[in-house]
Structure 1
Amino acid sequence: MKTAVKPDVEAAVKPAVKPVLRRMAMRCMLACIAACAPWLAAAPALAQPPGYPAKPVRIVVPFAAGGPADVLGRAVGEGIAKATGQSVLVENKAGAAGTIGVDMVAKAAPDGYTLALVPVGNIAVNPTLMPNLPYKPADLAPVAMLATAENVLVVNAATPVKSLAELLKLAGQKPGELSFASPGAGSQAHLAGELLQLDAHVKLNHVPYKGISPAMTDVVGGQVTMMFAQMSAALPYIKAGKLRPLGVASAKRSAVLPDVPTIAEQGFPKFEALSWYALMAPAGTPAEIVRKLSQHVDAVLADATLKEKLATLGMEAAGGTPQQLATTIQKESARWAGVIRQRHITID
């Protein structure tokens, strides 16, 4: 049986209850805030990713110290170090035409602290040329194009030919007798020679060497007819009058040899055999880190002093986004794969 509350009693109880309830609610809310305070204070720190780089960065150059790739890697590393305030260490990991160093980076932790300087051959040629390559292009993430390096077709200065047209005429008259040197099968110098044979419909004899120095020595000595050489290697001999340049294998003339026409100008409009070097990271490296690195590289390559230094090596500073580098790799891979298949190029 319910006990009725008289209206006058009910009216007296309500005002007394409300303040009590409000005080209890306030105490509960304050207790909850106090209990959660440590978590709330930590939340902003948890939301922010750790600063990059927070420790030294390593750039692996897959060739011996002292060469153009090494000079480029160290120059870029110094620039990134200045921009980030963090040390950048350059490690030379030579062997197997660059394969050992590139593979080491492909298998490194994808945290942005191990990077590779990767030449065109190791990312756009060798995957087709070497079926058993220990890494795949997909194992590496594009960061930025670092620089391009011009190649020039040279002959011994004692050779009677004075132009590309004369050289090709002689090659047509003596199929297979004229030879071209390269620092190794599958090198850019080798592929350029094969491309010339395809475009000019001539037959040349490829003579591979173990490195640029012995190849250049035999061209200078006249044991081999010609060679596509990087400008940095050929220029001293050209200036000394020991080699004659017949054509630059780039889309435009070289600033250091402005009077030498490109091969494209001499009847082969699509001919181009440009060496280039890119900065790459292990696949899976966070996109934000890749973006930061790309921006740092762009800033470094914009420096006028660095551009002048690269120019002395026959290089031109590049730059660009990871997406642009990915597109270049895709196009170059398809182009050189076509040359490799048409010329049936293999590595013993």
Structure 2
Amino acid sequence: MNITRRAAIGALALPLAAPRLARAQTFPDQPIRMIVPFAAGGPADLIARVTARVMSERLGKPIVVEARAGAGGAIGVDAAAKARPDGHTIVMASSGAIVILPHLQASMPYDPQKDLAPITQVLAVPQIIAIAPNLGPKNLAELVAMAKARPGALSFGSAGVGSSLHMAGELLKIRAGIDIVHIPYRGAAPAVTDLLAGRIQMLAADVPALLPHVQGGSVPALAVTAEQRLGILPNLPTAIEAGVPGMVSETWYGLLGPSGIPADRLRILAEAAQAALRDTQTRDALIAQGGRIVGSNPEDFANFIRQTSTTWGEVVRANNIKLD
């Protein structure tokens, strides 16, 4: 084939490719709505706002952060799942409404793995396993030994049935082979208060909830439920290091949209979020939450959701957990 003929064929192909390229280049063509399924001012809201700042700059359109709280995050996630799948509505969801609640409720308004399109996992925040000041154990192995010697005598608090704090305690029961009693609270703050007062014996809470008390020496921390130690608490061992294999639990936050968003738009959104996570100011704000920055692609995030959903489903069934 001569050069002239190849050029002519290439010219004929251009109009076929141009519409796809044009669609990608004109997205977004309006402001993007980022739903936060929790009240304004909380961790999810902060994570959404610091991420949205650079995403907006990258995309060239404003990102409007909208709080839609209720039902453990399910109301806001449902609003995103039912939005028009054009990429202009996304949600900064947390793990509870995506991989925990569906195993606790017989009926959900959405199917996380069918009705939502993963974009990127933004942040993973592990829990600190802490005990009441006068309980006695110096490390996690001693706590496990105490619990095994006194089945059902020790209690652990949580932010409510089905919360990530609750599930961390239930996972500890399975991984360590202990019998401890769950005491649910309406949020992490009152659980921390009762831990400090000795009204509960232990608590696995997200790093920001316990960090000031751990650093101030008012509560003993035994381990962190991450695969690696935290930079802000380098001397605190992981639960795995402390002798409890497979004890990994994190509250994660990630961006998703309604199922059906075109692949090129998902990629554009993911790349904008990943650019935000490379920004120094954004990284500093997120690391201050005690978390691990992720920035996965849509495919890896989808696989992660499937894997963690399987894990928490097994925990729910093994411990017969039910919502009241």
Residues 114-129 of structure 1: matches in 2 within 5 Å?
114-129=89-104
Paired letter, 1:95: G
Task: Pick closer, same or farther for the CA change 1:240–1:347 going to 2, 3 Å.
Answer: same
Deviation at 1:333, TM superposition (A): 0.7
Equivalent residue number for residue 95 of structure 1: 70
The answer on 1:77 being equivalent to 2:52 is yes
C-alpha contact (below 8 Å) 2:140/2:243 kept by paired residues? no
Task: Pick closer, same or farther for the CA change 1:81–1:342 going to 2, 3 Å.
Answer: same
Equivalent residue number for residue 167 of structure 1: 143
Separation of aligned partners in 1, 2:257 and 2:32 = 11
Equivalent residue number for residue 10 of structure 2: none
The answer on 1:241 being equivalent to 2:180 is no
Residues 295-306 of structure 1: matches in 2 within 5 Å?
295-306=271-282
The answer on 1:104 being equivalent to 2:104 is no
The answer on 1:286 being equivalent to 2:262 is yes
Equivalent residue number for residue 321 of structure 2: 345
The answer on 1:229 being equivalent to 2:205 is yes
Paired letter, 1:110: P
Residues 202-217 of structure 1: matches in 2 within 5 Å?
202-217=178-193
Equivalent residue number for residue 4 of structure 2: none
Paired letter, 1:161: P
Paired letter, 1:104: A
Q: For the pair shown, which has the larger CA radius of gyration, 1 or 2? A: 1
The answer on 1:65 being equivalent to 2:40 is yes
Separation of aligned partners in 2, 1:117 and 1:222 = 35
* Deviation digits for residues 235-271 of structure 1 (CA, Å, limit 9, x no counterpart): 0111222211101001001111110110001222322
SS in 2 for 1:150: strand
Paired letter, 1:62: P
Task: Pick closer, same or farther for the CA change 1:47–1:192 going to 2, 3 Å.
Answer: closer
Task: Pick closer, same or farther for the CA change 1:165–1:84 going to 2, 3 Å.
Answer: same
C-alpha contact (below 8 Å) 2:83/2:89 kept by paired residues? yes
SS in 2 for 1:266: coil
Separation of aligned partners in 1, 2:167 and 2:265 = 35
For the aligned residues, what is the CA RMSD? 1.7
C-alpha contact (below 8 Å) 2:158/2:165 kept by paired residues? yes
The answer on 1:196 being equivalent to 2:172 is yes
Structure 2: stretches of 5+ with no match in the other structure: 1-14
Deviation at 1:84, TM superposition (A): 1.6
C-alpha contact (below 8 Å) 2:175/2:245 kept by paired residues? no
SS in 1 for 2:220: strand
Paired letter, 1:302: R
Q: TM-score, normalised by structure 1?
A: 0.85
Task: Pick closer, same or farther for the CA change 1:54–1:264 going to 2, 3 Å.
Answer: same
Deviation at 1:167, TM superposition (A): 1.0
Q: Which runs of 4+ in 1 moved over 6 A?
A: 43-47
Deviation at 1:180, TM superposition (A): 0.3
Separation of aligned partners in 2, 1:44 and 1:106 = 30
SS in 2 for 1:293: helix
Equivalent residue number for residue 37 of structure 1: none
Separation of aligned partners in 1, 2:240 and 2:18 = 58
* Deviation digits for residues 70-104 of structure 1 (CA, Å, limit 9, x no counterpart): 11000111111111221101011111111111111
C-alpha contact (below 8 Å) 1:143/1:294 kept by paired residues? yes
Structure 1: stretches of 5+ with no match in the other structure: 1-40
- Matched positions, count: 307
Higher relative contact order (CA 8 A, sep 6+): 2
The answer on 1:273 being equivalent to 2:219 is no
Residues 8-19 of structure 1: matches in 2 within 5 Å?
none
Paired letter, 1:248: V
Separation of aligned partners in 2, 1:262 and 1:343 = 24
The answer on 1:146 being equivalent to 2:146 is no
Judge which range, 289-298 or 212-221, deviates more: 212-221
Separation of aligned partners in 1, 2:180 and 2:20 = 64
